[in-house]
């Protein structure tokens, strides 16, 4: 059976600070190799309804960037205590970095235990020097590739990206299910011809069946909205760690 790594996703502060911490640990200790912690923004441009609603709820509860870093630090400490090697990423939007100060944000991210950033609206040539600054602070900045990205652009983004590239499986926003079609597989093969780094495929990957279909095709799959949707359905009296650990194990079960 070919190995495939999972990148899980939580919204920082959703449904509250403590439960988002429990969820993060459950996903990590359930087998996720990467965990994407999204810092909520009031006007996201790549997120569907599920993630938008979770971001709004977190912001209503008083989420701010400092609380996001406190959450990251708590996750990182717990992972170390458990000998867990899950790598932490921050996913957010450019306005969050601008408001905090880009260099201050990057410095705090590194100190908190983050290894990489995903900032969809700060792409190459319009990145406010984020790729270079991230490298300066010892962080990876992950480039996104979309279905209409030209081969020459793929090569440019691949060169600047961290250890992998995030390949958007389809046009649109997060949340809708992506079918594993011959067209998608052809698109992935096209990317591979111009990309010499690992591929993390995301947008609409929601089930263990999809993960199974992608084994041997891509080394990393990203599941975002499905995790947030599952979190939204859990009663607050439940143990979010155990719930998310079990859910993650089911996704990865061959």
How many other CB atoms are found less than 10 A from the CB of residue 193? 10
Backbone angles phi, psi at 39, to 5 degrees: -85, 115
**Dist CA 86 CA 28 (whole Å):** 6
DSSP 204: S
Cα–Cα distances (Å) from 130 to 93, 108, 185, in that order, read 12, 15, 31
Question: Can you name the residues that pair with 90 across neighbouring β-strands?
Answer: 37, 117
Q: Among all residues, which ones are annotated catalytic? A: 36, 47
Q: How does DSSP assign 39-68, residue by residue?
A: PP-SS-SS--HHHHHHHHHHHHTT--HHHH
Helix (H, G, I), strand (E, B) or coil at 126: coil
């Amino acid at each position: 059976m070919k190995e495939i790594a999972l990148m899980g996703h939580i919204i920082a502060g959703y449904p509250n600070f403590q439960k988002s911490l429990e969820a993060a640990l459950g996903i990590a200790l359930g087998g996720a190799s990467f965990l994407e912690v999204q810092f909520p923004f009031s006007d996201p441009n790549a997120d569907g309804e599920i993630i938008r609603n979770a971001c709004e709820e977190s912001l209503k509860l008083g989420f701010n960037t400092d609380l996001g870093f406190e959450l990251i630090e708590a996750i990182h400490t717990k992972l170390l205590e458990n000998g867990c090697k899950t790598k932490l990423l921050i996913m957010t939007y450019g306005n969050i970095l601008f408001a905090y100060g880009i260099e201050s944000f990057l410095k705090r991210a590194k100190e908190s235990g983050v290894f990489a950033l995903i900032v969809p609206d700060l792409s190459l040539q319009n990145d406010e020097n984020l790729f270079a600054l991230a490298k300066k602070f010892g962080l990876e900045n992950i480039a996104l590739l979309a279905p209409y990205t030209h081969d020459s652009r793929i090569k440019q983004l691949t060169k600047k990206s961290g250890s992998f590239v995030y390949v958007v499986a389809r046009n649109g926003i997060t949340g809708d299910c992506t079918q594993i079609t011959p067209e998608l597989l052809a698109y992935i093969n096209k990317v591979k011809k111009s990309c010499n780094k690992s591929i993390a495929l995301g947008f609409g990957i929601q089930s263990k069946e999809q993960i199974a279909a992608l084994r041997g095709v891509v080394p990393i799959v990203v599941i975002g909205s499905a995790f947030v949707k599952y979190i939204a359905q859990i009663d607050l009296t439940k143990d979010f760690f155990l719930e998310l650990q079990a859910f993650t194990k089911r996704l990865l079960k061959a």
